[in-house]
Amino acid sequence: MSTSLVIAAHGTRVGAGVGQCHDLVAQVRAQLPGTRVEAGFVELVEPSIHEVVAELSDTGPVVVVPLMVGTGAHVQHDIPAEILAGQGRPGRVVQTAHLGAHGHLLAVLDDRIEEALAHGDEAWSQAETSVVLVGRGSLMAQANADHCALARLVQERRGAPDVVPGFIQVVQPDLASALDRARQHGATQIVVAPNFLFTGRLEKWLAEQSAAWQSANPEVQVRVAGVIGPCEGLARVVAERFREGEAELRASTEEAEGSPVYLAGLDLSGRRVLVAGAGRVASRRIDKFLDAGADVTVVAPVASPRVTDLAADGRVRWEQRPVAAEDVHGAWYVLAACDDAAANALVSDACEEQGVFCVRADDARAGTAWTPATARHGAFTLGVVGRRDPRGSIALRHRVMTLLDSEAHASEED
């Protein structure tokens, strides 16, 4: 039985914004051939989420992906209520995480900022241009905090001199205050970048407020970047969230048996393995890669004593810097084990594009390979992999090894 996707969108009174949403739906359908993909709206536009959920849940399981960049009241309250109103049998509908600071969305924000830098009579230099990143604004503190964290990620990713977070409504700093802060930091060129998905009233307010501030501060030049809009990067994030939800549905199905992944042994001898990150988890896995004869490259700004010792002995190559998408090139297998989820997403996205299997240490569902709990017994290596339950896998491995050891001991006594 196939799983359907409901894209839970906000809704807008601006027809062009609704059209962009439907354009995205078409792009997601292209990403997920064979999957029924429909849009439902929280408000202002028909059909409602609960109407679409009711229709699709009659024919099979449904994944609902909130088309929201942040985790506000719609994600935490309104969409769950719509699902409850529309679903049939319990357990057939699952809501995924919101879009968040996904690597693909960061790349799209980069593109929109670059387009603004190049727009106009004279191209602006990235090194001389500050950015004001504008979010919707929410009564929920976590959503606002996430936006401020996103501004920092954009600054780290771009190497921009300054990225100031601001909000178009509800909370401070508002757009004028954020622009004031950028000017106080010495900015003479500012790109105002909206973290909005589609055109609508928020974009209109952004343009009006930016123009008003520019008139009052003629010594500073201001350009306004475009919204994210329907694009391949956004469609890929929605498709990825759908696959995460689909995996969760499979794992929760009572009839499901075993793990949904294919268990195989990899011959890594002499083949390049990339390890992004050099903390506790990475250190433990590196030893196993070396045992398998892999050619290990570690990329991380700082490393554990174990990794620094291995690098000093020449057993691994350690590149002391943040990981980049280009590091995936030429690798047969990748472990994304950075402390930063955005960096891990960057690595796993690059692996997806290049057809390289990747383990995500922080989020197994976002990777394309899972690490089994292993043990050796004589000439054999045993591997146990479950449904994203590492402790369960370890417990089963221990039970199997205890049984094998007891049988071996009994044979010796006989």
Q: What's the domain count of the chain?
A: 4
Q: Is residue 109 domain-shared with residue 209, that is, in the same domain? A: yes
Q: Is residue 65 part of a domain?
A: yes
Q: Are 212 and 222 in contact (CB under 8 A)?
A: no
Q: Is residue 51 domain-shared with residue 143, that is, in the same domain? A: no
Q: Is residue 359 domain-shared with residue 399, that is, in the same domain? A: no
Instruction: Say which CATH number the domain at 191 has.
Output: 3.40.50.1400
Q: Is residue 76 part of a domain?
A: yes
Q: Is residue 10 domain-shared with residue 44, that is, in the same domain? A: yes
Under DSSP, is residue 382 helix (H, G, I), strand (E, B) or coil?
strand
Q: Name the DSSP class of 369.
A: -
Domain extent, residue 334, equals: 272-366
Neighbouring C-beta atoms of residue 319, cutoff 10 Å: 15
Which strand ranges, in their side-by-side order, compose the sheet holding 333-336? 317-319, 295-299, 272-276, 333-336, 357-360
Q: Do you find a cis peptide bond into 305, omega within 30 degrees of 0?
A: no
Instruction: Say which CATH number the domain at 351 has.
Output: 3.40.50.720
Q: Is residue 50 part of a domain?
A: yes
Q: How far apart are CA 282 and CA 338, in angstroms?
A: 8
| b/e code 123-148 from CB counts within 10 Å (16+ = b) | ebeeeebbbbbbbbbbebeebbebbe
Q: Tokens 């609508």 — which residue?
A: 200
Q: Is residue 259 part of a domain?
A: no
Q: Are 358 and 278 in contact (CB under 8 A)?
A: no
Q: Is residue 263 part of a domain?
A: no
Q: Are 232 and 239 in contact (CB under 8 A)?
A: no
Q: How far apart are CA 320 and CA 329, in angstroms?
A: 18
Q: Is residue 265 part of a domain?
A: no
Q: Is residue 156 domain-shared with residue 213, that is, in the same domain? A: yes
Q: Is residue 80 domain-shared with residue 110, that is, in the same domain? A: no
Q: Is residue 257 part of a domain?
A: no
Confidence (pLDDT) at 223:
98
Q: Is residue 262 part of a domain?
A: no
Q: Is residue 352 domain-shared with residue 277, that is, in the same domain? A: yes
Domain boundary among the residues 366, 387, 404 is at 366
Q: Is residue 128 domain-shared with residue 72, that is, in the same domain? A: no
Q: Is residue 179 domain-shared with residue 37, that is, in the same domain? A: no
Q: Is residue 383 domain-shared with residue 312, that is, in the same domain? A: no
Question: pLDDT 10s per residue in the chain (414 long)?
Answer: 699 999 999 999 999 999 999 999 999 999 999 999 999 999 999 999 999 999 999 889 999 999 999 988 899 899 999 999 998 766 689 999 999 998 899 999 999 999 999 987 899 999 999 999 999 999 889 899 999 999 999 998 888 889 999 999 999 999 999 999 999 999 999 999 999 999 999 999 999 999 999 999 999 999 999 999 999 999 999 999 999 999 888 776 644 566 777 888 999 999 999 999 999 889 989 999 999 999 999 999 999 999 999 999 999 999 999 999 999 999 999 999 998 888 999 999 999 999 999 999 888 878 899 888 888 888 888 888 876 666 677 778 888 888 887 776 666 655
Q: Is residue 108 domain-shared with residue 184, that is, in the same domain? A: yes
Q: Is residue 330 domain-shared with residue 300, that is, in the same domain? A: yes
